[in-house]
Amino acid sequence: MSENQSTMEAGWNLDNSYARLPETFYTLQNPAASRAPKLVVLNEKLAAELGLRAEALRGEEGIAVFAGNRVPDGATPLAQAYAGHQFGHFNMLGDGRALLISEQITPQGDRFDIQLKGSGVTPYSRRGDGRAAVGPMLREYIISEAMSALGIPTTRSLAVVTTGTEIIRDTVQPGAILTRVAASHIRVGTFQYAANWGSLEELRALADYTIARHYPEAAEDERPYVRLLQSVISRQAKLIAKWQLVGFIHGVMNTDNMALSGETIDYGPCAFMDAYDPATVFSSIDSQGRYAYRNQPGIGAWNLARFAETLLPLLHETEAEAVSLAEEAIAGFAEQFHHHWLTGMRGKLGLFGEEEADEALFDDLLRLMHHHQADFTNTFRALTLGKPEDTAMFGSTGFTDWQERWQARRGRQQESLEASHLLMKSSNPAIIPRNHRVEAALEAAASQQDYSVTEKLVAVLSNPFAYTPEQEEYTDLPEPSSCRYRTYCGT
Ligand code: AMP
Ligand code: MG
């Protein structure tokens, strides 16, 4: 079979618009070859949405693409340049272990980045080996797909292959490559790179590219770059509110991990909170709690201020005017976040319309949950099912008082209790990727090459609002443990 035929069979329909940006934004580079690639998981549903044929992707030629052993026709692989504030410190970064293979144009005409993560060193690798271990790549697969099913904008995962080469981390682990699918990989850090090391024309080219790709309406605006800033802020306010509403902690909200598309990106040290505690942090290196649950909205605004700074020369000819336009836009973040959070909390408690006292009702419930260390997901699940379980919080008089206020509020609305219940059911996931479940799946994969636990978990998480009997066992909490759950960056 010729190269061309096999490309057609898989359905690759590639273009690389990013490669038409000024060269300062990337380095052309092919992936390193994998010695003995094996397909571990393939996301057949996503493949179909992309216009790809699963059967061909599972074949030798298909796997060769995921393994970096074959560049499909029409692809222009490249490593993207970007910078970023990591824990507040500014660094030059770039794709140190990832390559943008190209952009797949779907049958609907949408454009998605196809990126290999773990495909070898690039000029941006610094001291890294350019590789990834199977555990963390499967972790990204599981959690990103769970986020998508939760209705949260996110990069997606198409496939994971093991490479046949072991890599060295704390222990020796099987090397792997994740194929990531994203609306784009343009980050706040990409603009920081342009503003610091590029010319004004290069910065403008990046801004125009971002507008064309994600915010075409801004091109029609009298002030396109102000509109770009406002639009990015709006999407992030909405996104971070969604994280808060399911107890998702990103864990490494560096500016290079904030995508301008408004998708969640970078599933390194992220995790879902069990017991509600606003100070929750999982990441092993976040000793100061910079990226703790309660800090996520504030950090979001901080990152967006860094983005706004990069745009200043484009916002207005006069610097003072540009600064004031940027400040005004940034000020809108808190207000929009608050609006989305309130709307989301109303959904979680089955409330229609708005009452002045709603926010106090939400705050008081969260205070009770915090005090009694109530599980975040299971509390809202139990309220949805209308059968508060035998927990410290549900047995407390504080909760009984709160419940009376909640029932009274529900009683004042026109909508039926049935409608209220349905709203709750569609707002409160019955299941989330529980840390101990994810760990069990990764352990089976890394030590026994048993991927069935991962596949079952991914399947169960694909319909989090279903409230089916099979989901029941996945709502179990971890055994009490003396060690706090820990997650790791750059694994
Ligand atoms: P991350 O923590 O995944 O956002 O990565 C931060 C930066 O470190 C990015 O520039 C990555 O490309 C780079 N990086 C992370 N792991 C590796 C690795 N094993 N080899 C080379 N670069 C890496
Ligand atoms: Mg990153």
> pLDDT 10s digit of each residue in the chain, 491 long?
555 566 659 999 999 999 999 999 999 999 999 999 999 999 999 999 999 999 999 999 999 999 999 999 999 999 999 999 999 999 999 999 999 999 999 999 999 999 999 999 999 999 999 999 999 999 999 999 999 999 999 999 999 999 999 999 999 999 999 999 999 999 999 999 999 999 999 999 999 999 999 999 999 999 999 999 999 999 999 999 999 999 999 999 999 999 999 999 999 999 999 999 999 999 999 999 999 999 999 999 999 999 999 999 999 999 999 999 999 999 999 999 999 999 999 999 999 999 999 999 999 999 999 999 999 999 999 999 998 888 999 999 999 999 999 999 999 999 999 999 999 999 999 999 999 999 999 999 989 999 999 999 999 999 999 999 999 999 998 887 756 788 887 77
Three-state DSSP class for 416?
coil
Beta bridge partners of 428: none
Give the tokens for residue 441: 């799946």
Give the DSSP per-residue string, 337-405: HHHHHHHHHHHHTT--S--TTHHHHHHHHHHHHHHTT-BHHHHHHHHHHT---S-TTTTSHHHHHHHHH
157 sits in which H/E element: strand 156-168
Q: Ligand 1, residues 93, 250, 253, 489: which to mutate, most atoms within 8 A of Cβ?
A: 93
Answer whether 396's CB lies under 8 Å from 370's CB: no
Q: Are 2 and 56 in contact (CB under 8 A)?
A: no
92 lines ligand 1 (CB under 6 A): no
275 SS3 class: strand
- Tell the residue nearest (CA) to atom 13 of ligand 1: 96
The environment of the single-atom ion ligand 2, i.e. residues with CB closer than 5 A, is 257, 266
| 3 state DSSP class of 415 | coil
Please report where in the chains the tokens 């496939």 appear, as a residue.
Answer: 159
The residue contributing the CA closest to ligand 1 atom 14 is: 96
Half-sphere exposure of 444 (CA within 13 A, CB side): 14
The verdict on the CB of residue 268 being under 6 Å from ligand 1 is yes
Write down the pLDDT at residue 90.
98
Please tell me the distance between residue 257's alpha carbon and the centre of ligand 2 in angstroms: 5
Cα–Cα dist 442/16, whole Å = 33
Q: Which residues, other chains included, contact 362 with Cβ-Cβ below 8 Å and sequence gap of 6+?
A: 342, 345, 349
125 close to ligand 1 (CB < 6 Angstrom): yes
Ligand 1 lined by 93 (C-beta under 6 Å): yes
CA atoms within 13 A on the CB side of 105: 9
For the Cβ of 123 lying below 6 angstroms from any atom of ligand 1, the answer is no
| Ligand 1: residue whose CA is nearest its atom 11 | 96
Q: In this predicted structure, what is the pLDDT of residue 390?
A: 86
Q: Which of 86, 125, 139, 258, when mutated, tests ligand 1's pocket best, judged by the most ligand atoms within 8 Å of its CB? A: 125
CB 119 within 8 A of CB 99: yes
Q: How many angstroms is it from 266 CA to the middle of ligand 2? A: 5
Please name the residue ranges forming H helices in 59-105. 60-66
Distance from Cα 89 to the centre of ligand 2, integer Å: 14
Q: What pLDDT is recorded for position 387?
A: 84
- Catalytic choice (256, 266, 274, 286): 256
Asked if residues 134 and 175 have their Cβ atoms less than 8 Å apart, the reply is: yes
The total of other beta-carbon atoms located within 10 Å of residue 449's CB is 12
Q: What local confidence, expressed as pLDDT, does residue 488 receive?
A: 85
Q: Hey, what's the torsion of the CAs at 312, 313, 317, 323, to 10 degrees?
A: 20
Ligand nearest to the CA of 98: 1
Three-state SS letters, 99-127:
EEEEEEECCCCCEEEEEEECCCCCCCCCC
Is 256 an annotated catalytic residue? Answer: yes
Alpha-carbon distance of 125 to 299, in angstroms, equals: 26
Whether this prediction's pTM lies above 0.95 is answered by yes
385 CA → ligand 2 middle, Å: 38
